[in-house]
Amino acid sequence: MNIYITGIGVISAIGLNVQENYQSLKNKKTGIAPIHLLNYKEKLLVGEVKLSNEMLVNHLHVATPISRTSLLGIVAAKEAWGNNQHHQDIRTGLISSTSVGGMDNSEKYYQQKLENPTPDISLITTHDSGDTTERIAKELGISGYINTLSTACSSSANAIMLGARMLQQNKLDRVLIGGSDSLTNFTIEGFKSLMIYSDEWVKPFDEHRKGLNLGEGSGFLLLENEKSISLTKNKPLAILCGWSNAADAYHQTASSPDGKGATLAIQQALKKANLKPSDISYINAHGTGTSNNDLSESVALKNVFKENIPPFSSTKAYTGHTLAASGTIEAVYAVLALQHQIILPNLNYSTPISETMLIPEVEWKINQEINTVLSNSFGFGGNNSTIILKKA
């Protein structure tokens, strides 16, 4: 049974919709810049969405309080949903994911509480991850199967996987899946406390990488089964054919140096897709730019693909690491690679990692034969997920 991707939506530091993201990718234009919108004590490098909360609220006509995570999610979810209608014979679900949920509002509340005897307590009603999803569901009128996942940086890759399984097991006919995270002091300080936030531009897969730059945004994809597209007449953009989730079981925040979990995830996704390693045309890597991830992921790529590693790149130097949203934002980019037969460049790279000597693609390459794209997402807690898309 095929699982069709028929809608895509994205908002990130490099654009407010799919078209804008595509143009920035093509023009090698990064969205990472010194902090501008978020109230933070220093001018750190971040991938901010260039719209304030007020602008988003006015644009979307939604009630407040609402978290920035929900706002970004609604923008991308609406774009992916497009002009689709509800239909009594199409069981439609929503699976979203987030790591910070409404933390942007919660931290405003705690800041106010410190300075003000009567802080705005309504701000913290948006804290729970599930609230983010409920707001998106309401906007789109989805009331059946609604779910939220939170597995840190692999969250939305897991949403893709769960959505695919819900269709395959005939629990749903159509499912909107996505991830959303907003920039917060909480996550910035968190990654700084782990000593993996770079004060320079993120350099995925470079020997001299110094850590990650955080970003924010949301990516959504609409998945449909045969029955659903026979009714909606939607044209497939790509087919989702492989997925896997494996635990690294090595360390709570670091990846294993032998890339065990990542290797398992990639191998199992290939098996699910019934593909050989040599069938993969392009890999969109997790490539966060941390010393640990990029080495572990490189080792995993070598474990699976041996000497014949397909062209690969990380797009984190465009968007920053968008945490829970990265899996679906990058899945949207994978769809673009299949649709336009392109390979996306890895910015800021100059020197291979000495232990593995792998060289990512650094140019925007057109007229490539892209039949399949493999995309990795790895997260805290040793959560490793891989998905594989193929041409429709």
Partner 1 sequence: MYILDHRCISPQPTFNGCFFTGEVKINHGNLYYSIEPDYTDLIPKNLLRRMEKATRVGIGAGIPLLEKYPIIDGIILGTSTGGFSGCVEFLKQIVQYNEGTLTPTNFVQSTPNAVAGILALMSKNRGYNITHTNLGLSFEATLLDAMLLLEENEAKQLLVGAIEETSEYNYNIDSASDFFKEIAVPSTQLLQSNTKGSVRGEGAAMFVVSSKKDNALCELVDVAQFSFPQKNTIQEKVLQFLKKNNTPLAAIDALVLGYNGDNRFDFRYDELAEQFNDTSIFSYKNLIGDSPTANSFALWLSCSILEGKEIPKEVYYKETDKEIKSILIYNHYNNIQHSFILMRSV
Query: Which residues sit at the interface with partner 1, rule CB under 8 A?
Result: 41, 98-99, 101, 103, 106-107, 110-111, 114, 121-122, 124-125, 127-131, 133-134, 137-138, 143-152, 158, 162, 165-166, 168-169, 171, 185-186, 189-190, 192-195, 245-253, 260-261, 264, 379-383
Q: How far is the CB of 222 from partner 1 (least distance, A)?
A: 19
Q: Which residues contact 361 (CB under 8 A, 6 or more apart)?
A: 311, 312, 313, 343, 344, 345, 346
Q: How far is the CB of 270 from partner 1 (least distance, A)?
A: 15
| Whole-angstrom distance, CA of residue 317 vs CA of residue 335 | 19
Q: Which is nearer to partner 1, 163 or 311 (CB)?
A: 163
Q: Which is nearer to partner 1, 125 or 371 (CB)?
A: 125
- Give the Å distances, CA to CA, from 219 to 74, 324, 332, 335, 355: 10, 10, 7, 12, 33
| Whole-angstrom distance, CA of residue 327 vs CA of residue 376 | 7
In contact, 188 and 198? CB cutoff 8 Å: no
Q: How far is the CB of 187 from partner 1 (least distance, A)?
A: 8
Q: Report phi then psi at 352, rounded to 5.
A: -70, 150
Q: State which amino acid sits at residue 315.
A: T
Q: Which is nearer to partner 1, 246 or 335 (CB)?
A: 246
Give, as one character, the DSSP assignment of residue 381.
Answer: G
| Whole-angstrom distance, CA of residue 359 vs CA of residue 346 | 10
Q: How far is the CB of 151 from partner 1 (least distance, A)?
A: 5
Q: Which is nearer to partner 1, 256 or 315 (CB)?
A: 256
- Give the Å distances, CA to CA, from 343 to 23, 119, 269, 322, 372: 14, 49, 21, 21, 11
| Whole-angstrom distance, CA of residue 197 vs CA of residue 146 | 34
Q: Which is nearer to partner 1, 6 or 245 (CB)?
A: 245
- Give the Å distances, CA to CA, from 213 to 166, 189, 217: 34, 12, 13
Q: Which residues contact 218 (CB under 8 A, 6 or more apart)?
A: 9, 10, 11, 12, 69, 72, 73, 75, 76, 77, 178, 179, 180, 181, 322, 325, 328, 329
Q: How far is the CB of 243 from partner 1 (least distance, A)?
A: 11
Q: Which is nearer to partner 1, 163 or 345 (CB)?
A: 163
Q: Which is nearer to partner 1, 67 or 346 (CB)?
A: 67
Q: State which amino acid sits at residue 391.
A: K
Q: Which is nearer to partner 1, 162 or 342 (CB)?
A: 162
Q: How far is the CB of 54 from partner 1 (least distance, A)?
A: 22
Q: How far is the CB of 128 from partner 1 (least distance, A)?
A: 5
In contact, 146 and 177? CB cutoff 8 Å: no
Q: How far is the CB of 14 from partner 1 (least distance, A)?
A: 26
Q: Which is nearer to partner 1, 107 or 224 (CB)?
A: 107
Q: How far is the CB of 281 from partner 1 (least distance, A)?
A: 26
| Whole-angstrom distance, CA of residue 370 vs CA of residue 286 | 19
